[in-house]
Each structure stands twice: as structure tokens, then as C-alpha cells.
Amino acid sequence: MSIRAKLILLTITSLFGVVCLPAIGLWQMGKVYEEANFCNVNSIPAIRFLTEATNSYMSYRLRVWEHINTKDEGELQRTVAEMGELKKHVYDSLDGYKSTIVDKEDQELLEDEMAAFGAIITMMDKVMELDRAGKDEEAIAMLLKNLDQLKEVAAKFKKHQDYNQTLAKQQSEEAAAAKQFATYEMLVISLIIGVISLVIGLVTSKTISSSISRLMGHILAVEKTKHLKAEPKVEGKDEIGQIGAAFNNFVLEIKKVIQEFAKGASILASASTELSASTVQISKTAEELRDNAESSAAAAQETSSNLQQMSEAVNRINIQIGEIQKAGNQATQLASTGTQAVHEARDSMTAITESSKKIVGITRVIEEIASQTNLLSLNAAIEAAKAGEFGKGFAVVAEEVRNLADRSTKAVAEIKQLIEKSEHDVHAGNQVVLRTSEALDQIITAVQTMAQGINQNARDIAEQDASTKEASLAVEDIAKTSEGNASAITQLAATSTQVSETANDLSRTAESLNDEVQKFRLDA
């Protein structure tokens, strides 16, 4: 097994322990919590429901005796209302208990309680009928006769409460047992995982340390003696064994490289002599190229200056056209805004006309109402005259109603005159708005035509400006290239001198390299 596999196994074992222990602990804690929390979520609510049902039942029995012994009608009604509330509370408590049922026996106890309480309610209703009929003695006799049955219901409630207390005690004991078992289980699992991790760790550590010690001894020997021979034998197919085999191959390859260095040193020495002679010819050629490059750079600089002046003139023209375009756009926008305002005014006048028509309709209705009111007031005056002395007050009211009808008729006539004048003014305003709208449309068309011509001129000038800039950039590139060539040629001359010096250094380096190669022992 490789070291990587051993380390992975050790890591997985440790990780399993780290993950498994908390998981088991949480699972066991969940079980303990469920057992311990049974009292909170089941036993306590169940006992509370049964206690409330018992208290309400006992209060109900007491109210029955109060009903028998009370003769005041108000007290009787209050007692009957309280009895109804108590009976409802008993049933509500027993219905609420249904959500806490845990087993079949619990269900049977609840059904038995509800059946017994139902029988008591039936018997109590008969007692109440006897009491309302004035048969108090018979009512009391029935209560005494069924006293055992009354006590039995209370006993059933008490038995059910004891059953829930027993369940709560059992759940508490089971929670304690689950806690103890969880503790033992986690201790055993921790011990097993710890032993496995320790064994894997010891075996892996021993394998790695022994193999590394043998390999390190050979590496130090090679460093000290400079004797290149493949010697270390590291057993095993793990990473350390692979490193030992790789080191043997590395030593063999180094031996070959040093042998090649020895051959290359002699070749390098002869090549450096030839390189030194070639650099002299390169220096002469570089001087001639530098003179030509400087002449080309001066001509390119002059052309670039002329193109720059032309580009600046085009830019000034372009700025002026931009201002004209801006003014044209503002004129178009203002005209559009005016057109929109004119349309809105026309719509408003149309709306006023429609509203006027509706008001005319309303005034007609008011005229009809005023006419009808006038007729009614006339009839009322006639009836008042017939009534004589008793109809005087009614006659005064009829006269006031007729006066109101007359004033309404006059007001309607005035409204009609105002509406007719308003319609005439609106019609005249509509004509003015229409002429204004047509004039604004003509202005917008003229401004747009002018803007199109300006835009076309701007595009032509922009194209000319772009062409000028491209030419200027090209000339600048030529100038820069010429200057760069001159600089490169100067650098070439300096480089040729450095190459000559480097050739001499290479010759000396070849001799030094040959001396270093001789230090290694290349025999097997």
C-alpha cells in the first residue's frame, strides 16, 4: 500500500471518528430529548385537560344543587347560564385531550369518560325538568339515587389522570436508560476508532522513516564524494521506493549531461573566436544604417506637423456645426412642446364643449322639475284654501315652494345664456388653436430639413477629420519607426561591441566549465 493510501486511510479513520461520534451523540440526544420531552408535549397537557374537565364537572354538580335550592328567577337564569358554560368547558377539555392520546388504552379511557359524562348530562336534564316543575323533592331523590354514578364519573377522571402520570414516569425512566446507553456506546466507539488510528499511524511512520533514512544516506555520500553511481536500494512500491528509483535514474541522467558539457565546452571555445570576428563587420554596417534612418525621421516630422494643423482647422469647423445642430435641436424641441400644448388645449376645449352639452341636459331636467314643482305648489294652495283656517300654514309653504320654482326657472335661463356664450368662445378658440398647430408643424418641418443638411455636412467633415487623423498617425508612426530604427542601429553597434566582449567571456567560461567537469567521477 502506498504512503498516500495509508495517509488517506488514517485521515478517513480519524474523520469517521470525528463525524461518527457527534452524529451518534446527536442521534442519542434526540432520543433522550424525545423521551424526556414527552412530559412537556403530552403528559402535562393531558393532565391539564383532565384536571380542567374534572373541576368543571364538579362545579357543574354544585350548580345543579344551587338550582334546586334557589327560587329567585334572576339567580336561576344565572345558574342555568353557568351550567351551560361548565358543560361546554367539560366537552372542550375532553376534545382537547384527543390531541394527546398515545395508545389504545388511553383512547378507551377517554371514550369511557365521555360516555359516562353524557349519561350524567341526560340524568341532570331530567333533574332540572323536575325542579322547574316544582318537584324539588323528586329532583333531590333522583340525585341521591344516582350519587354513585356521579362519583363514578369523578373516579374515571381520577383514573385517567393516574394513567397519564404513570406514562410520564415510564418515559422519564426510558430517557435515563437511553442516556446511559448513549454514554457507553460513544465510549466504546471512541476507543475502537482511537486504536485503529494509532495502529495505522505507527505503521505508516515506521515505513516512511526507515526508507527516508536509507535514501538520505546515499544522497549525502554523493554530495561529499562527487561519485555519480546508482546505488540506493529502497524496498517497497510506495512513494519512497519510487523516489529511490527516480534518484538512480536522475544520477544516470546527470552523468550523461556532464559528459555532454565536456564535449560542448570545446565547441564553445572555437565558436567564441568566430563570433568575435563577425562583430567587427556588424559595427561598420550599423553606422551606415543609422545615417539613413536619421534623414527619414526629419522628413516624417515635417509632414506630421502639416497634417496636425489641418486636423485642428477641421475640429474648429466641427465645433461650429455642433453648435448649429444644438440650436436646431432646441428649436425642434420647443416647436414640438408648443404643438403638444396646442393639442392639449384643443382637447380641453372639446371636453368643455361636451361638458356644456351635459349641463344643457341637466338644465332641461331642472326646468321640468321646476315646472312640476310649480304645479304641485298650485295644487297645494288650492287644497289649503279648501281646508280653510287649518290650511293657512300649508298655503304659506306652498307659496314658498312656488317662489323657489320660479327662481330655479330664472337661474336655468341664465345658465343657458352662459353656456351658449361659452360654446361660441370655445368654437373661436378651436379655430385659433388649429391655425397655431398648422404653423408649428410647418416650423418643425423646416427645422428638421435644415437639421438633416447640417447633419450631412457634419458627417462629411467628420470623415475628412478621421482621414486626416489617420494620415497624421501614419506619418507619426513613420517618424517613430525611423527614430526607433536609428536608436536600434546605435544599440546594435553597442551590442556588437558587447558581443565581442561576450565571446571572450565565453572562451574563458568554456575553460572553467571543463575544469569543473573534471571534478566528477564518471566511472561506474
Tens digit of each residue's pLDDT (9 = 90 or more) over 323-359? 756 766 775 776 677 667 657 767 776 776 777 677 7
Region class of 476: left (phi > 0), else alpha (psi between -120 and 50), else beta = alpha
pLDDT band of residue 171 (cuts 50, 70, 90) is confident
Q: How much is the CA Rg of the chain, to the nearest whole Å?
A: 59
pLDDT tens digits, one per residue of 230-277: 566 656 666 666 676 776 776 677 767 666 766 666 676 666 666 666
443 and 312 within one domain: yes
Q: Is 345 a domain residue?
A: yes
Predicted model pTM: 0.36
pLDDT of residue 457: 62
124 and 77 within one domain: yes
Q: Is 165 a domain residue?
A: yes
- Domain of residue 25 covers 3-209
Mean pLDDT of the residues in the chain: 73
Q: Is 322 a domain residue?
A: yes
Residue 521, classed as helix, strand or coil, is: strand
442 and 362 within one domain: yes
Read off the CATH number of the domain in which 455 is found. Answer: 1.10.287
Q: Domain ends where: 209, 234, 256?
A: 209
310 vs 67: which has the higher pLDDT: 67
Most confident residue range from 76-90, 254-268, 405-419: 76-90
Mean pLDDT score, 161-184: 80
- Is residue 521 within 8 Å of 226, Cβ to Cβ? yes
Residue 227, classed as helix, strand or coil, is: strand
127 and 74 within one domain: yes
345 and 467 within one domain: yes
Q: Is 214 a domain residue?
A: no
203 and 253 within one domain: no
pLDDT of residue 116: 92
272 and 400 within one domain: yes
In sequence order, the 6+-apart residues with CB closer than 8 A to the CB of 478 are 296, 300
- Is residue 237 within 8 Å of 46, Cβ to Cβ? no
**What are the grid coordinates assigned to 59, written together?**
362545579
* pLDDT at residue 449 is higher than 80: no
Q: Domain ends where: 209, 226, 256?
A: 209
The torsion angles phi and psi of 521, rounded to 5 degrees, stand at: -95, 115
Q: Is 90 a domain residue?
A: yes
**What are the grid coordinates assigned to 104, written together?**
389504545
192 and 258 within one domain: no
**What are the grid coordinates assigned to 37, written together?**
420531552
377 and 484 within one domain: yes
Number of folded domains that form the chain: 2
Q: How far is CA 30 from CA 17, 26, 33, 35, 175, in A?
A: 19, 6, 5, 9, 10
Q: Is 61 a domain residue?
A: yes
264 and 177 within one domain: no
Instruction: Provide the β-strand partners of residue 521.
Output: 227
Q: Is 232 a domain residue?
A: no
259 and 198 within one domain: no
pLDDT band of residue 47 (cuts 50, 70, 90) is confident
Q: Is 163 a domain residue?
A: yes
Q: Domain ends where: 145, 179, 209?
A: 209
110 and 63 within one domain: yes
| The one-letter amino acid at 53 | A
pLDDT of residue 310: 58
pLDDT of residue 228: 63
Q: Give the distance, in angstroms, between the CA of residue 140 and the centroid of all CA atoms in the same chain.
A: 74
Rounded CA separation 344/433 (Å): 10
